[in-house]
Structure 1
Amino acid sequence: MQIRFGYEIVYQCPQPTPMILTLHAHYSRASDLIRPDLLCVDPPVPMTMYRDGFGNWCSRIVAPAGRIRLTADGLIRDHGRTEPVLLNAQQHPVEQLPQETLVFLLGSRYCETDLLMGAAWQLFGNTPPGWARVQAVCDFVNRHIVFGYQFARPTKTAFEAFNERQGVCRDYAHLAITFCRCLNIPARYCTAYLGDIGVPPVDAPMDFAGSMEVFLGGAWHPFDPRNNQPRIGRILIARGRDAADVAITTTYGQHTLESFRVWTDEVPATVPGVLGVSGSSFATMSGSL
């Protein structure tokens, strides 16, 4: 299958404003790209790219005073299968974990393991370790939090989401990540494109999706506590300890988000050997990223 994916983000800046943009498809999907999701900036400005400490592709610009438009439109090849469920994937004793996973056991900006340690063991201490325990965490978080964009808050932490019982996908992910870390399961935050491929369409604006990966059975595996089911066509953008490490845009100065659009559509092949492009329905949403 082929998936068309991209975004259009428009800012107004009262003065020149440095920005770091983490918007490119993850390097692990580079060989799948048919048309790269090249970042286009209007008006054009100098741009540099680098890989951050987690391996994510980042772009640096200085947005000029006034209106600036960021956009990309890529095409990627996907296997079209649902994400795997590996019920036999075992949890590792901490002393046997690879060194590079240990940072994902620690508390972080949005994931307060010290505040949720007791709740984690009370809720999940009697569940079978491994895949079943992580799924129990996702089941609980999915039931516990009520979804709504009106509940979004850029400062909301896992502990606050646990107590308020409302939030958006990043809050689901932060709470599940925190519980997993409390239970000695390495867990990391992920941002991605996630369209309605293989599921009933949702009557809501398209957005980037926050989820998590956990380390079981010697490998990292995706879990999505917000949707709580394996999905088709997730396009990874970035990984980190929590949302602070993988912010879509980080701005160093006053700015206003004027518009925000994201699209992720399966592209049907209308004629054998000829690429057919589907018509996309783009929804516009304003608010804080």
Structure 2
Amino acid sequence: MLIRLGFEIAYRFVQPTPMVVMLDIHGSRSGDVVASVPLHTDPAVPLRRYRDEFGNTCVRLHAPAGLLVLAADAVVRDSGQPDRQQPDAMQVPVEALPEDTLVFLRGSRYCETDALMQYAWDHFGHVPAGWARVQAICDHVHAAIEFGYPHADATRGAARALEEGRGVCRDFAHAAIALCRCMNIPARYCTGYLGDIGVPPVDAPMDFSAWFEVWLDGDWYTFDARHNVPRIGRVLVARGRDAADVAISSTFGPNTLERFEIHTWEAGPESLDLGSGPLRCVA
């Protein structure tokens, strides 16, 4: 399967402003990219890439005053298979966990394990450890939070999402991650592309999506508390402890977001010709 994906995002700055953006396809999927127009800006500015502590690709740039457009386009080869399922995967005791998973057991800015510890054990302490417990957490979060774009709030953490019962995809992920960590299951936040592939299309603007991964039986497995069903065509951009680690842009000065357009859909071989820049879906 081929997936066409990309973005066009425009900011307006009142003065020259440093930025760090996290918009490149994750290195773990770089071998699947079969055609691309890499990240570029209008007006053109120098771009400097580096890897952060989680292995994500970050880009530093200095935005000029006025309008700055960031864009990219790509075709990615995907297996076309839904998220891997392993219902007999067991939970690994904390003392046997690899050191690099331990950071994903701790509380973080949006995943307040201290506030949710008792809540987690009251609700999931009786559920068999392992896959069944993670799925029970997803079922609970999926039922407890109502999705809606008007509910977006960049200051909301997992505890408030569960208390208010509303949010967007990042809130579902934060709530599930926090509850998993409370139950001693390493969980990490993921963001990337997830188009309406293999499901009825949604009549809403396309956006980046959030899901999470847990460490069970010696491997990372994908879960998605918002959709709560295996999905086809996830393309990872970044991973971290929570959304604070994978912000698509960090701007060090005042600005206004003027345009935010994401595209991702199943494509045919004709999409391998990307032309001179990102194209829009007109179907």
TM-score normalised by L of structure 1:
0.94
Task: State whether structure 2 residue 213 is matched by structure 1 residue 213.
Answer: yes
Question: Are 2:90 and 1:95 aligned?
Answer: no
Counterpart-to-counterpart distance in 1, 2:243 and 2:189: 7
Q: Is the 8 A contact 2:19 2:62 kept in 1?
A: yes
User: What secondary structure does 1:38 align onto?
Assistant: strand
Matched with 1:72 is 72
Does 1:280 pair with 2:281? yes
Q: Is the 8 A contact 2:34 2:272 kept in 1?
A: no
- Contact in 1 for aligned 2:75/2:272 (Cα 8 Å): no
> What residue in structure 2 maps to residue 148 of structure 1?
148
2 CA distance for matches of 1:176 and 1:199? 23
Query: Is the partner of 1:36 in helix, strand or coil?
Result: strand
Contact 1:54-1:239 within 8 A present in 2 as well: yes
SS of residue in 2 equivalent to 1:228: coil
User: Cα offset for 1:149?
Assistant: 1.0
SS in 2 for 1:83: coil
Please say if residues 161 and 171 of structure 1, whose CA atoms lie closer than 8 Å, have aligned partners that are also in contact.
yes
2:198 corresponds to which residue?
A: 198
Return the offset for 1:280: 1.9
Following superposition, the deviation at residue 11 of structure 1 comes to 0.4
Compared CA separation, residues 6 and 279, structure 1 to 2 (3 A): closer
Range 27-36 or range 182-191, more displaced: 27-36
Match of 1:160 in 2: 160
Change (3 A) 1:52 1:275: closer
Q: Deviations over 1:216-244 (max 9, x none)?
A: 01000110101111111100000000000
Secondary structure at the residue paired with 1:39? strand
The one-letter code of the counterpart of 1:238 is A
Percentage of pairs with the same residue: 56
Code of the residue aligned with 1:213 in structure 2: it is E
Structure 1 match to 2:172 = 172
Correspondence for 1:285: none
Change (3 A) 1:197 1:63: same
1:50 aligns with 2:59: no
1:36 is displaced (CA, Å) by 3.1
Q: CA contact under 8 A between 2:105 and 2:185: conserved in structure 1?
A: yes
Q: Write out per-residue CA displacement over residues 186-209 of structure 1, whole angstroms, 9 at most, x where no aligned residue.
A: 000000100000001011110000
CA offset at residue 268 of structure 1? 2.4
Unaligned runs of 5+ in 2: none
SS of residue matched to 2:38:
coil
AA of the residue aligned to 1:280: C
Do 1:120 and 1:182's aligned partners in 2 also have CA atoms closer than 8 Å? yes
Moved over 3 A (4+): 274-279
Structure 1: which 5+ residue stretches go unaligned?
A: 283-289
> Paired residue for 1:225?
225
Q: Distance in 2 between matches of 1:166 and 1:281?
A: 33
Q: Secondary structure at the match of 2:227?
A: coil
CA distance in 2, matches of 1:63, 1:121: 47
Q: How far apart are 1:281 and its partner, in Å?
A: 5.0
1:77-129 Cα offsets, whole Å, 9 max, x none, are 10111111100111000000000000000000101000000000000111111
Q: Map residues 94-133 of structure 1 onto 2, 5 A cutoff.
A: 94-133=94-133
Residues 107-161 of structure 1, C-alpha deviations (whole Å, 9 max, x = no match): 0010100000000000011111100100000000001000111111111111110
Whole-angstrom distance in 2 between the partners of 1:62 and 1:17: 6
Q: How far does residue 17 in structure 1 lie from its aligned partner after superposition?
A: 1.0
Q: How many residues align?
A: 279
In 2, the alpha carbon distance for the partners of 1:37 and 1:248 equals 18
| CA distance, structure 2, for counterparts of residue 205 and residue 3 of structure 1 | 18
CA RMSD of aligned residues (A): 1.6
> What is the Cα deviation at residue 269 of structure 1?
4.1
Secondary structure of residue in 2 paired with 1:62: strand
